[in-house]
Structure 1
Amino acid sequence: MINSDLLKSFIAAADTGSFSAAARQLGRQQSTISSNIAKLEDELSVVLFDRKGKYPQVTEAGLALYDSAKLALDSAERFENSAALISAGSPVSLTIAFDEDLPLSPFMTWLQHIHKKYPIMQVRLVRKPSTQIFELVKNNQIDLALTPSLESNSSFYEFTAVGHIRYIFACGRQHPFRHKRQISNDDLATSTQVVASSMLESQLIQAVAMSSQRWYCEGYETLLAALQANIGWAFIAVDQSAPLPEGIVSFKPDFSATHHSAQYDIIWPKNKILSEIECQLRDQLATVVANMNKQT
């Protein structure tokens, strides 16, 4: 296997046009760059630079090998970085679950951070009702999950309380409620309500379902699509730090004199000891939830 320092010297010299410039770029002595390139030429039995003029010129053979050298160097650096992450305690795989009734958009930057900082980590994203998430955590099939808080303490998971997420009454821009000044309980009860399917598995169905005319939607995105199509009204979680999704407006029924929210927790299996990196990711996720409560 070719030493990565030799490849770095070759690539830097080809990019900068001289051994001295390559030395400055890499923070090495010019003699080191020259020696490394000579060693690489010996190992490959190929002349990479024509040294007859004032400045070395990359040969045709060198140009032909340049892209492969960059790929080989990138691959070697990824290998070294991945090994360092694993040595530092980074999990090789991570399963993260989100309550399906939450919007995913606030968490995209956090997920991008995971992808960029831990490229070797295989991540599995799960979107399910909270009741199913709790069951998967119980069976050690999920590493970290964001779910509504359970009223009673659990014997099968650990948790960190991360605060409340705001819920609002919402409908589409063409829904009759959009232009109605006062919306009574009777108005809600006689208009189609879009309800999350997860409520069917929850004791909250009696508190949440206010209309006998209902559409049930599986997942936040499906529920949102029904609202955007002006099918009905709904009670949905929102990210206060961002505008409402396109085509969605909020309204306030006559009976609603206060803000509505639900407590959320980050949970993980009881017998699982979080690695240092998992603890960092948990704390970062908690920060994302906290930022969702900052109004624009």
Structure 2
Amino acid sequence: MLRFSFEQLASFVAVAEKGSFSKAALSLGKDRSTLHQHVGNLEIDLGITLFDRSGKFPKITFEGNSLLTQARHILYHAQVLQNSGDSLAEGLEESLTIYHDISLPISVIEQVQLAVHQQYPQTQLHWIHRGRAESMDALAEQHADIAIVLSKGSGVLPSKGLTFTNLGYLPFSFFAHKDSVLAQQTSCNLEDLEKQQQYTAENYLEVELGNNTKISGRIATISNIDIILSLLKQGGWALLPNHFVSSSSYVDAICKLNINFMTNDGRWSLILLTRNHQSTGTVQRYAIEQFKAAFKVITQ
């Protein structure tokens, strides 16, 4: 059985942080005499002196300072427990798991994370980077609540049991290191690309985007785009999302190639998937709307 109350701990912490009983009472919205009583009773219950009151202002003792961090932790976790209980009572999800393709812009993740945290601070978002097939399996097996994946291709719809929303089309271009042979050319044709090393993101091989752009006789499959950007220093080229290069630390070293058989950047869509018969929760609906809003900004 505990010999102290949460009110006593809150008063103790407030006095320690504010430096006086008057300021602590004001911050807690209580009378100063009430805080004196709470702290005094806590000292009796614990059998130690928490503050030296011989001066004008209370001075925390060695014993009090030793317990202060633990008291803060107890109050913090008690508040988390209460907030979680309130969220569950309101029917809010405790967490959301989002599987996403490597092409999902980090700016979108940041925007959705911030918006959800501000609106529903007790809901934890889990961001899991996986390919299209694994993401769809995770949805079907209820390991994921939302999946952001590359569109399979023209006219190809997701598996039955899944609902999809086309978030928008991201521009893709051919990139190489600025010091490479390809970057020195005023324009590159198909034969130029065929002769050079090609790097392809593993996830792109699950959709037509990757399979239709196998051009070189030497193709290396890489699971991480950052690794591709680094390897381009050694030569070769890669088809990459424009936003990934422009927001990376390699932005000054990697350049877009002038491809003579393309007049515009290529585009490929990202789609948002959920389960058909899933009971969509409040936070999940809010997160989906935030994804849509974020993509309107970057694809307009």
**Same fold by TM-score greater than 0.5:** yes
Q: Which residue of 1 aligns with 2:40?
A: 38
Change (3 A) 1:133 1:166: same
Paired letter, 2:270: Y
The corresponding residue for 2:257 is: 251
Which residue of the partner structure matches residue 187 of structure 1?
192
Q: For residues 153 and 27 of structure 1, do their structure 2 counterparts lie closer, same or farther at Cα, with a shift above 3 Å needed?
A: same
User: C-alpha displacement at 1:146, in angstroms?
Assistant: 0.7
| Cα distance, 1:107 vs structure 2 | 4.5
Give the structure 1 partner of residue 243 of structure 2. Answer: 239
Shift of 1:158: 1.4
User: Map of 1:81-92 to 2, 5 A cutoff?
Assistant: 81-92=83-94
Report whether the alignment pairs 1:284 with 2:290. Answer: yes
Counterpart of 1:71 in 2: which secondary structure?
helix
Distance in 2, Cα, partners of 1:148 & 1:21: 56
**CA–CA distance in 2 between the matches of 1:179 and 1:65?**
66
AA in 2 matched with 1:174: D
* Separation (CA, whole Å) in 2 of partners of 1:58 and 1:185: 76
**Deviation per residue, 1:63-111 (Å, 9 max, x gap):** 33223222222222222223333333343443321123x1663345247
Alpha-carbon distance in 1 for matches of 2:94, 2:259 = 49
- Structure 2 counterpart of 1:233, one-letter code: W
Matched, 1:218 2:219: no
State the AA in 2 paired with 1:180: Q
Give me the CA root mean square deviation.
3.0
For 1:27, the equivalent position in structure 2 comes to 29
- Contact conserved, 2:132 with 2:149, CA < 8 A, in 1? yes
Contact 1:171 1:250 in 2 (8 A): yes
Among residues 182, 200, 207, which one is paired with 2:212 in the alignment? 207
Query: What corresponds to 2:272 in structure 1?
Result: 266
Cα distance in 1 for residues equivalent to 2:90 and 2:246: 36
Match of 2:84, SS state, is helix
Q: Which runs of 5+ in 1 are unaligned?
A: none
Cα deviations by residue, 1:133-161 (Å, 9 ceiling, x for unpaired): 22332333321111123534442211222
CA distance in 1, matches of 2:113, 2:177: 30
Distance 2:147 2:30 in 1: 48
The residue type equivalent to 1:20 in the other structure is: S
Length-normalised TM-score, structure 1 = 0.83
Residue in 2 aligned with 1:3?
Answer: 5
* SS of structure 1 residue aligned to 2:182: helix
Q: CA deviation at 1:238?
A: 2.8
How far off its partner does 1:199 sit? 4.3
- Return the letter of the residue paired with 1:274: T
Where structure 2 has 5 or more consecutive residues not aligned to the other structure, the ranges are none
> Is residue 167–residue 262 contact of structure 1 (8 Å, CA) maintained in 2?
yes
| Alignment length (residue pairs) | 291
| Distance change in 2, residues 1:239/1:286 (3 Å) | farther
